[in-house]
């Protein structure tokens, strides 16, 4: 039976988010239903909808938490000012992170808002915060700070790595081992950076 009044709004929110995250870790997007979350915390689905507008909002909050974790993990890399070295270190930290959080990482990209619904600004800010770490590592390659190709390159690398890891995960590239995924990711970074250097240097 659903509990009532055992928790205040903040406590309930924290409980629901933790439950949503646990479900995402175990079952991915398909397990993430209001019913499952409610059941896990012993409240009704109706109570959840007092806290969240809809399931998309819950998924966005789970994803924001994953982006924050990834940001903190990548933020531990001390930048040396040598882009090749720094990007390689960020890449390895990224691969380690998604290796240990594969379902959460998948949810980050599998969850899509309905067509025409823009991502909320607070969520975009979380993505921008992760991308800014890549931009900082790439910056020494460019003649001036805020060079437009620096932002562009951070986005190219971020989305390309996503594609490599996703296809390798689903074994859609005739690839089986983690080593092969790393080889593709390293080839991406090595050639992309060598290209930037050759073009701009």
Please state the closest distance from residue 94 (CB atom) to a copy of itself, in A.
Answer: 13
Please state the closest distance from residue 200 (CB atom) to a copy of itself, in A.
Answer: 10
**Sign of the CA dihedral 165, 167, 173, 178?**
positive
Please state the closest distance from residue 39 (CB atom) to a copy of itself, in A.
Answer: 23
Closest CA to 34 of 14, 53, 9: 53
Q: Which is nearer to a copy of itself, 11 or 68 (CB)?
A: 68
CA-to-CA dists, residue 64 to 58, 60, 127, 150, angstroms: 10, 6, 8, 24
Please state the closest distance from residue 20 (CB atom) to a copy of itself, in A.
Answer: 19
Q: Which is nearer to a copy of itself, 51 or 127 (CB)?
A: 127
- 18, 40 in Cβ contact below 8 A? no
Q: Which is nearer to a copy of itself, 76 or 121 (CB)?
A: 121
CA-to-CA dists, residue 167 to 22, 79, 185, angstroms: 24, 29, 12
Q: Which is nearer to a copy of itself, 100 or 163 (CB)?
A: 163
CA-to-CA dists, residue 132 to 45, 104, 126, 150, angstroms: 38, 21, 10, 10
Binding site for a copy of itself (CB under 8 A): 109-110, 112-113, 118-119, 124, 127-128, 149, 152-153, 155-156, 158-164, 166-168, 170-175, 183-184, 187-188, 190-199
């Amino acid at each position: 039976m659903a509990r009532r009044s055992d928790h205040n709004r903040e406590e309930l929110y924290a409980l629901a988010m933790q439950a949503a995250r646990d479900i995402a870790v175990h079952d991915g997007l398909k397990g993430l239903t209001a019913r499952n979350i409610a059941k896990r915390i012993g409240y009704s689905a109706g109570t959840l909808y007092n806290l969240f507008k809809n399931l998309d909002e819950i998924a966005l909050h789970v994803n924001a938490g994953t982006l924050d974790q990834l940001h903190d993990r990548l933020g531990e890399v001390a930048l040396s000012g040598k882009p090749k070295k720094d990007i390689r270190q960020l890449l390895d930290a990224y691969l380690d992170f998604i290796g240990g959080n594969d379902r959460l990482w998948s949810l980050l990209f599998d969850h899509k808002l309905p067509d025409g619904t823009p991502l909320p600004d607070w969520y975009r800010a979380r993505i921008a915060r992760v991308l800014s770490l890549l931009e900082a590592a790439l910056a020494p390659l460019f003649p001036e700070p805020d060079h437009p190709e620096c932002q562009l390159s951070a986005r190219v690398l971020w989305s390309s790595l996503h594609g490599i890891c996703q296809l390798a995960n689903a074994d859609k590239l005739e690839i089986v081992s983690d080593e092969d995924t790393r080889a593709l990711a390293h080839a991406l970074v090595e050639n992309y950076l060598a290209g930037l250097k050759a073009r701009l240097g």
